[in-house]
Structure 1
Amino acid sequence: MRIALKCSLLSLALLTFNAWGQIPGLATCTRTANLLACIDAEGNAYSVNTVGSTMYLRGFEKVGRRYWAQTNSRYGQLTFFTGIASDGEAWVGYNRRVGWTTINRFSSSGGSSAKFTCSRITGC
C-alpha cells in the first residue's frame, strides 16, 4: 500500500471525524453535515461520507495516479475496513479503540501488512 494512502487512512482513523476545516500545511477541507472533502498541497484528494455507523471514503493519490475507495463499518470500539484501488490493489483491516489507544492492523493484496498502536498522547 502506498505511503500517501497509509497516511490518509491513519489520519482518518485518528481524526474520527473531528473535521478541522482548514489546517495550514496539511489539507484544505470543505464540510457539510455528513460529507468531508479535502485536498492537500501535493494534490491528493479524498472525501468521507458517513451514513449511520458506516463511513465511505474515496480518494485520488497523485503520485500513483490512482483512485481508491474504502468502506469502514464500526461496531462499538471496533472498526473493520475494506478498500480497492484503480490499479487492482485491495486491502482489509481493522482498528480497535482501547481508552486513548488505537490498535491497527491491515493487509493488502500488494503484499503490505502491518500492525501498529497509536496513542492520542504519544502518537504512533
Structure 2
Amino acid sequence: MKTALKYSFICLALLTLNAEAQVPGLANCTRSANLLACIDGNGNAYSVNTVGSTIYLRGFEKAGNRYWAQTNSRYGQLTFFTGIASDGEAWVGYNRRVGWTTINRFSSSGGSSAKFTCSRITGC
C-alpha cells in the first residue's frame, strides 16, 4: 500500500509537467489536456485523469505485481481518496492543505496506517 500511495503522490506532483516531460530519476511522462501517463525506471506505470475536481489514478506496481486504482475528490483545501488493488487491498485517506503544508492521513485493509505532514520547504 505504501508503494501505491507513494506513486499516487508522485502522480499528483507530476501534474504540473509539460507534455512529454522527462524528469531524471522519476519517470517518463506524456500529457494531454486531462491525462498524464507515466512509466518509471523500475517498470511501474501509472496514469492520472482529471474530471472537474475529481482525479482518477490508475497504475501497475511492479514490485507487488499488482494493479491499483484510486479516486480523489477535492473540496476546497481538503481531498478525500479511496483506492483498491488487484490483490484485494483497499485504502482510504485524506490530504488537507494549510498554506504550504499538507497534512496527510491514510489507512488500509492490509493494516497500514499513517499520518504525516509535507512542506514545500522541508519535504515530507
TM-score, length basis structure 2: 0.94
CA distance in 2, matches of 1:61, 1:16: 17
Q: Which residue of 2 aligns with 1:123?
A: 123
What is the rounded CA distance, in whole Å, between the counterparts of 1:94 and 1:16 in structure 2? 19
Partner of 1:48: 48
TM-score scaled by length of structure 1: 0.94
The alpha-carbon deviation at position 6 of structure 1 amounts to 2.8
Question: Once the two structures are superposed, what CA deviation does each residue of 1:4-32 show, in whole Å capped at 9, x if it has no partner?
Answer: 2132123234x172125210111000000
Query: Aligned partner of 1:17: which letter?
Result: L
Rounded Cα–Cα distance in structure 2 between residues aligned with 1:91 and 1:19: 27
Match of 2:82 in 1: 82
Give the whole-Å Cα distance in 2 for the aligned partners of 1:115 and 1:98. 15
1:122 to partner: Cα distance:
0.3
Contact kept? 2:95, 2:104, Cα under 8 Å: yes
Structure 1 vs Structure 2: percent identity of aligned residues? 79
Partner of 1:18: 16
Q: Residue 70 in 1 paired to residue 57 in 2? A: no
SS, match of residue 117 in structure 2: strand
The CA deviation string for residues 60-112 of structure 1, in whole angstroms up to 9 with x for no partner, is 00011000000000000000000000000000000000000000000000000
- Where structure 2 has 5 or more consecutive residues not aligned to the other structure, the ranges are none
Give the conservation status (yes or no) of the 8 Å contact 2:72–2:80. Answer: yes
